[in-house]
């Protein structure tokens, strides 16, 4: 029996994660409407999809209403790295909150199922380790990261209020550190920072002693988790953690990047930024049990693919030649 083709809206679809998601949905036979205001996303990320009759690209900011007919919505629109979301913190909060209201209103109007790309940042600097979905977090509501942390927490609130008040079909994924090709080279995230610095043979900047930990999930694994969550039964709302539970110190990551690139970079230690979490590791029991999902790409396998991508960028390697 032939599968019915779905009409899927991906907000933030020209971004790092969104572009990989659009690719997977098209490969599955869906029609994809990719919406992005190109604040951090790029047409280059989806240029290879423009010739597909299943793909449509629309410049739009989700802080304004959108009137389209779709069956599913993946709401990924929001700057996700500190450098980008702190550049215009008021707009970041608006994107999370007004964007959620507009996309939930659209889903309510057309009867669509909607998935919110939330974040591990809702846990703040956690007192519980690893972080289960039941942990309510330790977030500074007035700190420099609050525009993102609290914006995403408010978006989760809105999703569950629409679920309770309007019986909307919702899914909430809490995304932990993700890396891979199409990351922005200047997004300030630790993987992109280290890889770009190593390729340029510049000092690798490690904040503090590098003993703080992160868990790195390759983008292909994350996209698989998002799709499985969207396709799960309606009673599965989340929130569900999606990330790789394998924990690394920041110093270990720096050393791996130097080794894989053959870089001459030295490690430079700088003071820790305010509210920078000391630990970040997902507990993924729910994802394993409910979605049958667990990451399959080890850091040792994903990092070389990420390095290869950055090495292909003229803006990275051109600067190295100067």
The fraction of the chain above a pLDDT of 90, given in percent, is: 84
Lowest mean pLDDT segment, chosen from 78-92, 166-180, 242-256: 78-92
Rg of the chain over CA atoms, in angstroms?
19
Please count the residues of the chain: 322
For residue 6, the SS3 value is: coil
Sign of CA dihedral 187, 303, 273, 197: negative
DSSP β-bridge partners for residue 59: 36
Per-residue pLDDT band at 29 (split at 50, 70, 90): very high
Q: Could you give the CA distance from residue 148 to residue 135 in angstroms, rounded to a whole number?
A: 18
Place of tokens 């974040």: 119
> Mean of the per-residue pLDDT values for the chain?
94
Backbone angles phi, psi at 174, to 5 degrees: -100, 110
pLDDT value for 296: 97
The closest alpha carbon to 209, from 157, 169, 249, 164, belongs to 249
The closest alpha carbon to 80, from 219, 200, 284, 213, belongs to 219
pLDDT of 289 strictly over 70: yes
pLDDT of 213 strictly over 70: yes
pLDDT value for 2: 52
Neighbouring CB atoms inside 10 A of 128's CB total 14
Give the pLDDT confidence of 35-51 residue by residue, as tens digits. Answer: 999 999 999 999 999 99
Q: How many CA atoms lie within 13 A of 12 on its CB side?
A: 24
pLDDT of 12 strictly over 90: yes
Cis peptide bond upstream of 192, omega within 30:
no
DSSP secondary structure string, 232-296? S-TT----EEES---EEEHHHHHHHHHHHHT----EEEEPPPTT--S---B--HHIIIII-----
Q: Could you give the CA distance from residue 205 to residue 197 in angstroms, rounded to a whole number?
A: 8
Mean pLDDT of the region 234-242: 98
Element (H, E) at 153: helix 146-166
For 7-321, CATH number out of 3.20.20.140, 3.40.50.620, 3.40.50.720, 3.30.420.40 equals 3.40.50.720
pLDDT value for 119: 96
pLDDT value for 31: 98
Neighbouring CB atoms inside 10 A of 50's CB total 11
Beta strand 213-215 with 247-249 is: antiparallel
Residue 277 Cα distances to 49, 83, 251, angstroms: 37, 16, 15
Q: Could you give the CA distance from residue 146 to residue 241 in angstroms, rounded to a whole number?
A: 20
pLDDT value for 80: 81
Give the pLDDT confidence of 95-129 residue by residue, as tens digits. Answer: 999 999 999 999 999 999 999 999 999 999 889 99
pLDDT of 292 strictly over 80: yes
pLDDT value for 187: 86
For residue 279, the SS3 value is: coil
pLDDT of 319 strictly over 70: no
Q: Could you give the CA distance from residue 161 to residue 21 in angstroms, rounded to a whole number?
A: 26
Q: Tell me the domain boundaries of the chain.
A: 7-321
- In the numeric block, which tokens belong to residue 206? 């490690």
The fraction of the chain above a pLDDT of 70, given in percent, is: 97
The closest alpha carbon to 221, from 173, 259, 187, 189, belongs to 173
pLDDT value for 9: 98
- List for the chain the helix, strand, coil content (%; round to 5): 40, 20, 40
Give the pLDDT confidence of 150-183 residue by residue, as tens digits. Answer: 999 999 999 999 999 999 999 999 999 999 999 9
Give the pLDDT confidence of 176-198 residue by residue, as tens digits. Answer: 999 999 999 988 889 999 999 99
pLDDT value for 284: 98
Q: Could you give the CA distance from residue 305 to residue 311 in angstroms, rounded to a whole number?
A: 10
* Residues annotated catalytic, as ranges: 148
Q: Is residue 75 within 8 Å of 100, Cβ to Cβ?
A: yes
pLDDT value for 52: 98
pLDDT value for 320: 54
Greatest alpha-carbon span in the chain? 60
């Amino acid at each position: 029996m032939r599968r019915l083709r779905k009409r899927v809206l991906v907000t933030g679809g020209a971004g790092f994660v969104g572009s990989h998601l659009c690719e997977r949905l098209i490969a599955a036979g869906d029609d994809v409407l990719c919406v992005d205001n190109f604040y951090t996303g790029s047409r280059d990320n989806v240029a290879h999809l423009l010739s597909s009759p299943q793909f449509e690209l629309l410049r739009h900011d989700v802080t304004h209403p959108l009137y389209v007919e779709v069956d599913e919505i993946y709401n990924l629109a929001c700057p996700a790295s500190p450098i980008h979301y702190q550049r215009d913190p008021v707009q970041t909060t608006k994107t999370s909150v007004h964007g959620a209201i507009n996309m939930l209103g659209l889903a309510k109007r057309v009867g669509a199922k909607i998935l919110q790309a939330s974040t591990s940042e809702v846990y703040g600097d956690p007192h519980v380790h690893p972080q289960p979905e039941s942990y309510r977090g330790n977030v500074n509501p007035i700190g420099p990261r609050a525009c993102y942390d609290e914006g995403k927490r408010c978006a989760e609130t809105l999703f569950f209020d629409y679920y309770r008040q309007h019986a909307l079909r919702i899914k909430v994924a809490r995304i932990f550190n993700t890396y891979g090709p199409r990351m922005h080279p200047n997004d300030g995230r630790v993987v992109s920072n280290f890889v770009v610095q190593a390729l340029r043979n510049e000092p690798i900047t490690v904040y503090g002693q590098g003993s703080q930990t992160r868990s790195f999930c390759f983008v292909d694994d994350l996209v698989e988790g998002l799709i499985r969550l969207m396709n799960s039964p309606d009673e599965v709302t989340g929130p569900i953690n999606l990330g790789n539970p394998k924990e690394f110190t920041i110093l270990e990551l720096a050393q791996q990047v130097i080794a894989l690139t053959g870089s001459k970079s030295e490690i430079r230690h700088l003071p820790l930024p305010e509210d920078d979490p000391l630990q970040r590791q997902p507990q993924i029991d729910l994802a394993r049990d409910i979605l049958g999902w667990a990451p399959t790409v080890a850091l040792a396998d994903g990092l070389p693919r990420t390095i290869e991508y950055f090495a292909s960028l003229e803006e990275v390697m051109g600067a190295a030649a100067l």
